[in-house]
Amino acid sequence: MPSRRSSLSRLSTTRWGGQDIVIFLTPDTDSEFNAFNSTEAGAIGSTAVYDPNLNDQKLTFKIESGNIVDEQTGSIWNMFREAATGELEGDRLAAVVHANQKWFAWSAFFPDSELRTADFFGS
């Protein structure tokens, strides 16, 4: 659930399984496990993962004034893979299948997994 708090999005670009990916992080997404009601829930974050290649061009992204902006056109992107404003307005990045899991559940089934912490996103 979206948080009542506000914070900047973060992002990371990497290669995974031979594919370029960009990861958008919303660090203030609340967890339903942290409290009895949503106003007391603690933030755990959530991610969205996309292919940064669009129209035969590899886009690179940065955070500017709290917005996700591609460096090639200056278009502003939302967490839902769509350019909200700018030259690419209305264009959408291809989604990469992924899951936002609780570490305690994931590590029970995949104990050799690597945990990426907030510093992966340049916090």
Tally the residues of the chain.
Answer: 123
Burial of 43 (0-12, 13-18, 19+ CB in 10 A): middle
Task: Give one word for 46, left, alpha or beta, with left for phi > 0 and alpha for psi -120 to 50.
Answer: beta
What is the pLDDT, as a whole number, of residue 1?
Answer: 33
Domain ranges of the chain: 10-112
pTM over 0.75: no
What is the distance between the alpha carbons of residues 80 and 54, in angstroms, rounded to a whole number? 15
For 17-120, list the strands marked E by DSSP: 19-26, 46-51, 53-54, 57-58, 61-64, 67-70, 76-77, 83-85, 94-95
pLDDT in tens, 70-123: 999 999 998 889 999 999 999 999 999 887 777 788 889 999 987 766 566 654
Q: What is the mean pLDDT of residues 54-64?
A: 94
